[in-house]
Amino acid sequence: MASNSSERNNTNPSSLVDELQFDMDDDQPMVETSGVEKSLLSTVSEQESDTADEIWRNIETNRVRFPTHRDDHREGLKRTTTLKSPPGADGEAVPTIDDSSKQSTPTSPTGTDGGGRDGESSDKEKIGRGSLENKTILKPSPSVGTSLVNLVNEATGARANCAENGSSSMMDEAWERLRSSYVYFQKKPVGTLAAVDPSAEALNYNQAHTNARSAYLLINVQTVETIMLHKFNRLASDTTIDNAGYSIMDQLIVYRFGLPVFVRDFVPTALACLMRVPDPETEIVKNFLLKTLHLQGWKKTIDNFTLGEGVMPASFKVMYDSYQEKDVLKADFGGTAIGRVAPVDSGFWWIILLRSYTKCTGDYTLAERPEVQKGMKLILNLCLSDGFDTFPTLLCADGCSMIDRRMGIYGYPIEIQALFFFALRCAQQMLKQDTDSNRLIGRIERRVTALSYHIRNYYWLDFTQLNNIYRYKTEEYSHTAVNKFNVIPESIPDWVFDFMPLRGGYFIGNVSPARMDFRWFLIGNCIAILSSLATLAQATAIMDLVEERWEDLIGEMPLKIAYPALEGYQWRIVTGCDPKNIRWSYHNGGSWPVLLWLLTAACIKAGRPQIAKRAIELVEQRLSKDGWPEYYDGKKGRYVGKQARKYQTWSISGYLVAKLMIENPSNLAMISLEEDKKIEKPRLTRSASWSCSR
């Protein structure tokens, strides 16, 4: 999603200027940088050129070292456990570059001395450090909770400890790493980084241009920006690399552009915090809900087109304004995403998480706040608005959900429909009773009834239904048609006939005129179970299918996000030759550990916890040893993903939620709804489902 480092190095200076000087809406409380840059530029013109040259030379020659102690700013978060210090971190002082006499022999994270050259640093480096005395101080980013570089030191010891002590040590490691990913806004936790990978060249997300650990390489911003304005061409073409392997340009980009918090990625982290024993960490969840709600009210414009008022952000960044000395937020509503697609699922996950928070804390005051009620209504009105649809399902574009790249899910994907149903039912429980809300609740009830009928009948596929579709007649007209969508039986892919067991079934990926996407999508099927969109018999059949096709859907590392993979000509046409979604990789048949929490919740809801336990055992054999990767490649999920980021936050939190639910199945109530008997519709045959009244 983000450009790699080689692409950045080949970028011309003018394009870099455009990136650094990004536009902001007038109604958003962001910092105007143009005036500051002008003032800095005028300041530079008054200074002698040799002063700027000296500062620039010192920055390049100085080898900045990471702080190796844990600098925790979580003042707003109630601590429930004592964090263990990373190996070798106890008693070490934070190295600064304002006093060379106090760090003549500092210890670097890699075990080398001084500049990292086998215990020796050159005279040039010493001169560089001394010349910056009382000018620049290395400070942690106020937006990140702990030193990201500590993960480098912790990795080897934590994995070895996990192997010796089993899942308990793995849980401890997971909590430690999860807290290390916290992002803070005005000293309060508001979310988590998507990944904290100390070895990657660049984060796999569009907002970040360099590794997350570069947040701790920030040198005095006023000095850097002064030099940037004075000597931008040299900065843009700079190839000098510091001790950590990152250029000064990378450090500046991280500072100015912030680190992203993705809305959907935070959901398993929020659930882990709510389920934590003995004391849930609820403040970060509450802060996240309120901050994203605040961002919903911002003006949302992409290429002169204004998005719907109820659209929730796909992500937001916490950035620190060094001039006003405060944190600021910057939201993305799809304008920087792959394909520039707004996230349809963000609003649904927000409503679902609000209900989980209320269920866990018993705090109904948050959901009853006027601004929260308004936010829910905006999301619901956006989805329930009248249009030309003849189906109760939502029409969506490719890339609008977790599968945020072109994968042929355009139309009416099962993931969005299941989340839509889930969010509608959650909203029913949380909307206050008043005249306006009662009308909305009435619309919700009618939509839920129609949606459940549509999904349960037209999306469901088992052996019997597959045989019926195989025998469909085509070109049927009028309301008596059985083949309502005019699906051509010859369009059924060959793999389905071998994949479908005699015992089992699932909701297919998509249904639209003359088209059925027969692929298996795990998220949609699990959400259907948790929201009771699936009947009891259908939930049982889905679990039967998982057991019958364990090697295909689970393999050696859970879990396949989609099955089967697109290959050959079909891959070229559907994905547009996407090099990231090659067969059995990423969204195209890749295995995602984060989905473990969804499978576990669905298994408990369906009364089959042994399936989840078996999957958890597979995860515990490798996930921590492999460095908590984002996804795995291969037909069986055997290999760490080709472009997978290590220490992926939702891989960590997905495992935690799965373990917490298996150990205490009552946690399921936070993320599950019982079947609503009121939406049980009469059993209509397909030929009799059409009606018209005056």
Give pLDDT, residue 675: 86
Could you count the other beta carbons within 10 Å of the beta carbon of residue 467?
A: 11
C-alpha span between 151 and 109 (Å, rounded): 10
Give pLDDT, residue 129: 38
Q: Which pair of structure tokens corresponds to residue 642?
A: 């080709």
Phi then psi for 304, rounded to 5 degrees? 65, 10
Residue of 341, 342, 336 whose CA lies nearest to 317: 336
Q: Which pair of structure tokens corresponds to residue 473?
A: 């007649």
Phi then psi for 267, rounded to 5 degrees? -60, -50
Burial class (CB in 10 A: 0-12, 13-18, 19+), 644: buried
Q: Is 482 left (phi over 0), alpha (psi -120 to 50) or beta?
A: alpha
Give pLDDT, residue 518: 98
Could you count the other beta carbons within 10 Å of the beta carbon of residue 309?
A: 13
Torsion sign (Cα): 307, 312, 317, 320: positive
Q: Which pair of structure tokens corresponds to residue 503?
A: 């015992």
The CA-CA-CA angle for residues 464, 467, 472, to 5°, reads 125
Crossing angle for the helix pair 649-663 and 263-275, to the nearest 10 degrees: 30
Give pLDDT, residue 85: 39
Q: Which helix (H) or strand (E) holds 542?
A: helix 536-548
Give pLDDT, residue 258: 67
Tell me how far CA of residue 72 lies from CA of 5, 141, 254, 664, in angstroms.
30, 11, 20, 30
pTM: 0.71
The CA-CA-CA angle for residues 688, 534, 397, to 5°, reads 85
Q: Is beta strand 515-521 parallel, antiparallel or unpaired with respect to 505-512?
A: antiparallel
pLDDT under 70: residue ranges of the chain: 1-166, 199-258, 679-694
**Single-letter code of the amino acid located at 301:** T
**Single-letter code of the amino acid located at 238:** D
Q: Kindly report, residue by residue over 297-342, the tens digit of the pLDDT.
A: 888 888 888 888 999 999 999 988 788 888 889 999 988 877 789 9
Identify the three-state secondary structure at position 45.
Answer: helix
DSSP-derived secondary structure for 603-672: HHHTT-HHHHHHHHHHHHHHTTTTT--S-EESTTS-EE-TTPPSSBHHHHHHHHHHHHHHH-GGGGGGG-
Identify the three-state secondary structure at position 539.
Answer: helix
Strand partners, 332: 315
Domains and CATH numbers, the chain: 283-358+365-679 (1.50.10)
Give pLDDT, residue 8: 40
Q: For residue 208, how many C-alpha atoms fall within 13 Å in the half-sphere facing its CB?
A: 25
Q: Which pair of structure tokens corresponds to residue 126?
A: 């010493």
Residue of 608, 632, 606 whose CA lies nearest to 554: 632
C-alpha span between 291 and 238 (Å, rounded): 37
3-state secondary structure 154-189: HHHHHHHHHHHHCHHHHHHHHHHHHHHCEEEECCEE
Residue of 526, 519, 621 whose CA lies nearest to 570: 519
Phi then psi for 635, rounded to 5 degrees? -60, -30
- The answer to whether residues 144 and 215 touch, using CB atoms and an 8 Å cutoff, is yes
Long-range CB pairs of 321-329 (<8 Å, 24+ gap) are 321/31, 322/221, 322/222, 323/31, 323/36, 323/222, 324/31, 326/186, 327/142, 327/143, 327/184, 327/185, 327/186, 328/29, 328/30, 328/31, 329/29, 329/30, 329/185, 329/291, 329/294, 329/295
Tell me how far CA of residue 59 lies from CA of 39, 115, 137, in angstroms.
22, 14, 12
Give pLDDT, residue 399: 92
Give pLDDT, residue 72: 40
Residue of 401, 671, 402 whose CA lies nearest to 530: 671
Residue of 151, 156, 154 whose CA lies nearest to 649: 151
Q: Which helix (H) or strand (E) holds 262?
A: strand 259-262
